[in-house]
Amino acid sequence: MNTQKSQNAFKEAKKVIPGGVDSPVRAFKSVGGTPIFIEKGEGAYLQDIDGNKYIDFLQSWGPLIFGHCDQDIEKAVIKAVQKGLSFGAPTTVETELAKEICELFDDIDKIRFVSSGTEAVMSAIRLARGYTRRDDIVKFEGCYHGHSDSLLVQAGSGAVTFGSPSSPGVPADFTKHTLLAKYNDIKSVEKCFQNSNNIACVIIEPIAGNMGLIPAEEEFLQSLRELCNKNGTLLIFDEVMSGFRASIKGSRKFTKVNPDIVTFGKVIGGGMPVGAFASSAKIMNELSPDGPIYQAGTLSGNPVAMNAGLASIKKIKNNPRIYDELEKKAIKLTEGFKEYAKDNDITLQTSVRGSMFSFFFNENPVKNFDDALKSDTKMFASFHSKMLQNGVYFACSQFETNFISTVIDNNTIENVLNISKKIFNELKNGR
């Protein structure tokens, strides 16, 4: 496979863009080689600037549930663009999309749109702090909630669970109010509450997607809900990735636990930049201009993004059974991987939630970030590289999630499995 144009493009990009990319994971550092520069996408496929085609299991990191260049979403975008790109003023399509989302959830009365998942989470935490009049938050190791200062933390030392900055440029004063707990470990959360009586919220990905796909266990979520209720703390579900991806109701198909605030992103924009946070009217009415908690954004509710999102959500609501088919395909793929890995004495752990899936080169089941870190990342990098060379595009990190789109059919799955069979044999023999 010739990728010379991508290699040249990467060299040029590095001259004017830090690392040659606008988001670090795209640099392929964890899998080696040169990132592929994309020219276009169509259906289940990507095409790079060298003309190579790839079966795409990334789908722009999730939002393209109907694949690339879906006709209905494309038409909605073109129609919106013809009326103007942005107004900085209200449009009726914002209300229409808000109604479509809110009517799916009993615990959501109102929603506010923003332009990214990071912005959605940042705003949700501010809302929780303002509503409770408390400062501290609890997050979980391995859960990624965007790159706002309060959330870029690493584990503290000793028994105290307060975090310290994990990136230069983040003042320690910003993260001293962030406590860290272990995913699927309620005792670690209880320790956080023992260390602070000032916890405004606990934020969690109920289906974690940024340490690989790791679902929260139901008993853990139930205990988390009870702990928050007992302490007057709000529970935030970050469903920027899982919202409308794991199911039409995100994580709610897999848990009976309801959060106090939920964040959305990716899929509700149909591929356009968008995010949102939502809650009960009681909590959301604390936001400006109705209440004292300030949050704003010039491009929030951008009409192009809103129309793309509305087209996507309507397609989902018209046929919610697509998730059953997507899950069957994801299971077929991951079970096939496990079978071929086992045939070559390679241990593989897999995880599926609706149209989301991951695979770990790991000896043991993966339930938290510590488990994920024990995965064989070198093996993953080799597998990723070999699959890419054979025209299959997976997320370029062991600690990311992959996605099935409706345009990936069973014949495509079979084709990928046949390729993987050969690759697993090559990995066994060190080729």
Report helix, strand or coil for 89: coil
Residue from 45, 144, 340, 393 carrying the catalytic annotation: 144
From 282, 316, 339, select the one nearest 131 (Cα to Cα).
Answer: 282
From 255, 191, 175, 178, select the one nearest 227 (Cα to Cα).
Answer: 191
Confirm if 280 and 109 have CB atoms less than 8 A apart: yes
From 55, 39, 118, 119, select the one nearest 404 (Cα to Cα).
Answer: 55
From 419, 382, 401, 352, select the one nearest 57 (Cα to Cα).
Answer: 401
Using alpha carbons, list the distances in angstroms from residue 93 to 81, 99, 104, 417. 13, 10, 17, 42
Can you point out the beta strands (E) in 258-309? 261-265, 275-279
Compute φ and ψ for 203, nearest 5 degrees. Answer: -115, 135
Q: Is 329 a catalytic residue?
A: no
Q: Is 238 a catalytic residue?
A: yes
Whole-angstrom Cα distance, residue 153 to residue 166?
A: 5
Whole-angstrom Cα distance, residue 323 to residue 248?
A: 8
Q: Is 144 a catalytic residue?
A: yes
Q: Which helix (H) or strand (E) holds 356?
A: strand 356-360
Residue from 266, 323, 371, 386 carrying the catalytic annotation: 266
Work out the number of other CB atoms within 10 angstroms of the CB of residue 425. Answer: 14
Residue from 70, 238, 260, 371 carrying the catalytic annotation: 238
Confirm if 368 and 185 have CB atoms less than 8 A apart: yes
From 328, 330, 367, 364, select the one nearest 214 (Cα to Cα).
Answer: 367
Positions annotated as catalytic residues are 144, 238, 266
